[in-house]
Amino acid sequence: MSIKLMEKARIHCDRTAIVAPEGVFSYRQLLDASARVAAFLLEGSPDLRERPVAFLTPPGFRYVALQWGIWRAGGIAVPLSVSHPRPELEYVLADTEPAAVLADSDFVARLKPSAETLSFRFARAALALEHAPGALPDVAPARRAMILYTSGTTGRPKGVVLTHLNLTAQIESLVKAWEWYAGDHILEFLPLHHIHGIVNVISCALRAGAVCEILPAFDAHAVWERIGRGGLTLFMAVPTIYAKLIDAWRSSSPADRQRFSEGCRRMRLLVSGSAALPVSILEMWREISGHVLLERYGMTEIGMALSNPLHGMRVPGAVGTPLPGVEVRLVDDAGKPVAPGTPGEIEVRGETVFSEYWRRPEDNRQAFRDGWFQTGDVAVFESGSYRILGRNSVDIIKTGGEKVSALEIESILLTYPAIRECAVVGIPDPIWGEKVCAALVPEAGQEPDVMMLRAWLKERLAPYKAPKEIAILRELPRNAMGKLIKAELKKFFQLSWGRGDDKSC
């Protein structure tokens, strides 16, 4: 179970666990801080008994201490995104109905009014971290440990529930496959409401007794400077970040380029995931770093399922084979396994697969077929490796490593007074993987101001969900039966749209 992290932490007590904006912290300090948080949440009761606890804090030591404290109190950790506006935060709070809401001082003004409006216990994170420790419950592996929100074809994000057993299986699988050890040192700058940063980086590092160095946010030049100083052994990012790092490297001086590249070459493993990696980025990164990026495949519901090998040939555009403890198969529309070389939907089974969607029994029934989770991703198995071909649903967009629901964005756009109809699609983009594009049909006699609309959306959508391009159209493309043809819209944006322009047609 994820509580096993605490057991391993006791072995490494005086080793450095976290380097963060707040300072340098040992495993002993992390255990002490998380015990204080747990005691604060319990308020004298013996066990939170799987009640959710939402928390919002910048990346750093306090984030990990709060998360571990929730687990040690017997609660379900619900990490909130620092980039989400108030309506998205309120949605998660209303959906989970947490026993408590914890916020760092920087986020009190954003979160406290929502928590109080919804009548949830609210507290500053500092109070929890300064509380006296007390008796803590035993937490069984089968208990629910975390809820992460992910967009789906039904619109609003769904809460993916992971048990301690699920998290432990995911962590152990990656520790084994990528040979994590106590001498490792990794840099963390990925969003911490996402499984990539939480499990693949922080949890694997702490399970191995390694050092996790946490930056407050991603900045290409700051990341390069840290790489250039040396001492890192692993590096994990999404294709968008690698593209930005390549641009920053190209704009640097020859001396800095050499320093940065040497820092890369001293690492043992660099991984790319959460979105398809363009071969052009892989090849340019190889020139810069001397490394062939290890591509892998996973999602919130399953953790990591497929990976290119740590040792051996890595095939560009492929995502390897199943990780330890993971079963993968490709099936046709009837759920029958397909032959090698034939495209099919990826289905996954094993202890790494999530427990349930929070309070969504119908979605749970639809998500599984004979014990296999239906990912909605299509792949082909050829030459000994899986290659991802795309998604079954046109309404799921993968942008910058985040999974976004076109239906959710459309539902928000339709509440804007000047918009009568709208449609959101994703189109291929070398930086973002896919770019979110919105086509709008205004109400009669009205012409939405795109700048005002963007400002309005900023208050209601996370930045990565906001459309990069907006078209004002007289009508949306439909077939003879009146059904929207999103393929035509995708073609329109791909063929007729200049990058970053907003146009009326």
Q: What is the pLDDT of residues 216-229, one digit of tens each?
A: 999 999 999 999 99
For residue 284, name the pLDDT band (cuts at 50, 70, 90): very high
Where along the chain do its domains lie?
24-139, 396-504
For residue 503, name the pLDDT band (cuts at 50, 70, 90): low
Distance (Å, rounded) from C-alpha 230 to C-alpha 326?
A: 34
Phi/psi class of residue 107: alpha, beta or left (left: φ > 0; alpha: ψ in -120 to 50)? Answer: alpha
What are the beta bridge partners of residue 52? 76
For residue 499, name the pLDDT band (cuts at 50, 70, 90): very low
Higher pLDDT, 81 or 414: 81
Output the pLDDT for position 5. 83
Q: For the domain made up of 396-504, give the CATH fold.
A: GMP Synthetase; Chain A, domain 3 (3.30.300)
Q: Is the dihedral of CA 446, 449, 453, 455 positive or negative?
A: negative
Does the pLDDT value for residue 74 go beyond 80?
A: yes
Q: For the domain made up of 24-139, give the CATH fold.
A: Rossmann fold (3.40.50)
Distance (Å, rounded) from C-alpha 196 to C-alpha 241?
A: 13
Output the pLDDT for position 155. 64
Distance (Å, rounded) from C-alpha 51 to C-alpha 67?
A: 14
Is residue 53 within 8 A of residue 40, CB to CB? The reply is no
430-460: pLDDT as tens digits: 888 899 999 999 888 888 899 999 999 999 9
